[in-house]
A and B are shown apart, each in its own frame.
Chain A
Amino acid sequence: MGISRDSRHKRAHTGAKRAQIRKKRKFELGRQPANTKIGAKRVHTVRVRGGNIKFRALRLDTGNFAWGSESSTRKARIIKVVYNASNNELVRTNTLVKGAIVEIDAAPFRQWYEAHYAVAIGRKTKKDTADDTEDSLSKKRSNHVQRKVDARKEASKVEPALVESFATGRVLARIASRPGQSGRCDGYILEGKELEFYNRRLKARK
């Protein structure tokens, strides 16, 4: 492979050029990057030092994303990479890395929200309501469940920026796992100041 992670090839703090004293050792090895793309799941396993296993995700299409303020985590489809602070190339090629901002499918979270609070989210007109939402919004609930739902009414407020993105069916999330190491693409939905920050960046870009 040839990629090594030693510091013996670099100049010393004083600027002195260091002579090569030994050959490359196996414990200094580095591997090719995963460059995880969006697509049907393809994960390779790698045997690493100590006999342990790393899961190198080469293609992923779903991830486990958390909606922090509602404490609700759902498996959602990843649609595309929208922003990467380090490299625009990774946005163009839709590469999944930790810290990248992606668009995910909002449907699992909308379903959870409407079942939990019995309030519609991100639906502008009556025409938008599909058959399944009518079921979750207006289905028959037992007395006990209905009382619980009514008690949650005050807590059902969601910030307007998030509601807007629910209307489009896509929500911005940030990847918090390392797909090339764990084989998974998990993260959290952007909210509050962070969402405002990235929305501004995206708008400036357009």
Chain B
Amino acid sequence: MDIQTHKAFQTQVGIFQNPKVLGKKKTTVKRWYKEVGLGFKTPREAIEGHYIDKKCPFTSSRVSIRGRILSGVVVSVGKMERTIVIRREYLHYISKYNRYEKRHKNLSAHMSPCFIGVETGDVVTVGQCRPLSKTVRFNVLRVQKKIVKGAKSFSKF
């Protein structure tokens, strides 16, 4: 599967990939990855994969996770390139009636290609990073699949 689908050569910035090879050496591209901290495990796909994403928190030195860590339910996947929409629900208290009302906020988060098979309904943990686009300030760190109560789940195939 070719990763060079763009007009410019996709590569991890700062990783020199053309050292002189004296004699027979395995031609695997050197890959850089890091741990984002706060106890989040870097996915295996991030370490072994070949994708290039300058906004991925695991394979890019340009984004760091700092500030808030939030979680929410995935509402929309695949409509925007490498970003998803998350819905965060909360209860708002009305003091006059001593009761709560449901409110929600949507949040756009960047999802690295190392997370494969994310569907709507999955619970996702996102971490705050610097602004990546007009509305995206969060990066997906961990995905928990949706728990289906019944054993049989209907899939398209």
Give the complex CA separation of A154 and B23 in angstroms: 9
Q: Are A155 and B20 in contact (CB under 8 A)?
A: yes
Secondary structure type dominating chain B contacts: loop
Q: Are B9 and A154 in contact (CB under 8 A)?
A: no
Q: Which residues of A contact B135 (CB under 8 A)?
A: 13
Chain A positions 39-98 with a Cβ under 8 Å from a chain B Cβ: 68-70, 85-86
Q: Are B18 and A191 in contact (CB under 8 A)?
A: yes
- Asked if B19 lies at the interface with its beta carbon under 8 angstroms from chain A, I say yes
CB distance from A108 to the nearest CB of B (A): 19
Q: How many residues of B contact A (CB 8 A)?
A: 16
Q: Which residues of B contact A70 (CB under 8 A)?
A: 20
Chain B positions 1-52 with a Cβ under 8 Å from a chain A Cβ: 4, 6-9, 11, 16-20, 22, 29
Secondary structure type dominating chain A contacts: helix
Given A68-B16, A85-B6, A191-B18, does the pair A7, B11 have CB atoms closer than 8 Å?
A: no
Given A13-B135, A193-B17, does the pair A85, B8 have CB atoms closer than 8 Å?
A: yes
Q: Are B18 and A68 in contact (CB under 8 A)?
A: yes
Given A7-B134, A85-B8, A194-B11, does the pair A69, B22 have CB atoms closer than 8 Å?
A: no
- Asked if A139 lies at the interface with its beta carbon under 8 angstroms from chain B, I say no
- List chain A positions with a Cβ less than 8 A from chain B: 7, 10, 13, 68-70, 85-86, 99, 154-155, 157, 191-194, 197-198, 201
Supply 9 further A-B pairs (C-beta < 8 A) apart from A13-B134, A13-B135, A85-B8. Answer: A13-B108, A68-B19, A69-B20, A86-B7, A192-B18, A193-B18, A194-B9, A197-B4, A201-B7
